[in-house]
Amino acid sequence: MKGPPSCALLAEFATAEQLLAAVAKVRQKAYARSVEVYSPFPVEGLADLLGTRSSRIPFGMLVGAIAGGFGTYALEWYAAVIDYPLNIGGRPLASWPAFVPAAIEMSILGAAVVGVLSMLLGNGLPRVRHPLFAVPAFERASADRFFLLLHTAADDSVDSRTLLQSLAPISLSEVGE
């Protein structure tokens, strides 16, 4: 079952200061489900206003590293001790120093793979088509314009539109979801 219907409005601003003021005003309203901001360069103070939360990617990378390292070590131990034991010069079968380099390499690989996959999934990629690409003005998001995308519930769309219009944006567009 889908959640309540939603509406997305895209407001275009000329300066970073206008964008900061708009984000501060929008975040004060309780009906704003989520706010996304697009700008051609990093804007100082924007992350604090948006209330960004810490990422879970480092924890996932730690789990990937531990799984890769312990999995490789266990595989090497099983192969050398259980599956095909060889007594070479009286050395012990479970010679752990020989197993460590490969386990370290697989730890690094496990962390990298989990990190890349987490980043892709967290960013909603791969996504060939995004509704923002249908808005003609959005082409300037990487050049010289600042955009605020406001997701609200459908019953709050009129209030959201009134709020965004009061912030005097250059343009205000409705975005299909």
**pLDDT value of position 131:** 85
**pLDDT value of position 31:** 56
Rounded-to-integer distance, Cα 13 and Cα 33, Å: 21
4 or 99, which is more confident?
A: 99
Query: Does 1 map to a domain?
Result: no
For range 143-154, the mean pLDDT: 87
For range 5-21, the mean pLDDT: 89
Q: Is 175:150 a contact under the CB 8 Å cutoff?
A: no
Q: Binning pLDDT at 50, 70 and 90, where does residue 154 land?
A: confident
Task: Give yes or no for residue 125 having a pLDDT over 60.
Answer: yes
Whether residues 61 and 107 share a domain: the answer is yes
Task: Give yes or no for residue 3 having a pLDDT over 80.
Answer: no
Q: What is the pLDDT of residues 20-60, one digit of tens each?
A: 999 988 888 755 568 889 999 999 988 888 877 788 999 99
Range 73-81, long-range pairs (CB < 8 A, 24+ positions): 73/99, 73/100, 73/103, 76/102, 76/103
Location of structure tokens 């459908």:
154
Q: What is the pLDDT of residues 62-115, one digit of tens each?
A: 999 999 999 999 999 999 999 999 888 888 898 899 999 999 999 999 999 999
Query: Does 37 map to a domain?
Result: yes
Whether residues 102 and 141 share a domain: the answer is no
The residues pairing with 6 across neighbouring beta strands, listed in sequence order, are 153
**pLDDT value of position 4:** 58
Whether residues 102 and 16 share a domain: the answer is no
**pLDDT value of position 122:** 87
Rounded-to-integer distance, Cα 33 and Cα 25, Å: 14
Rounded-to-integer distance, Cα 148 and Cα 169, Å: 10
| CATH code, domain with 10 | 3.30.70.260
Whether residues 41 and 70 share a domain: the answer is no
Whether residues 73 and 27 share a domain: the answer is no
158 or 42, which is more confident?
A: 42
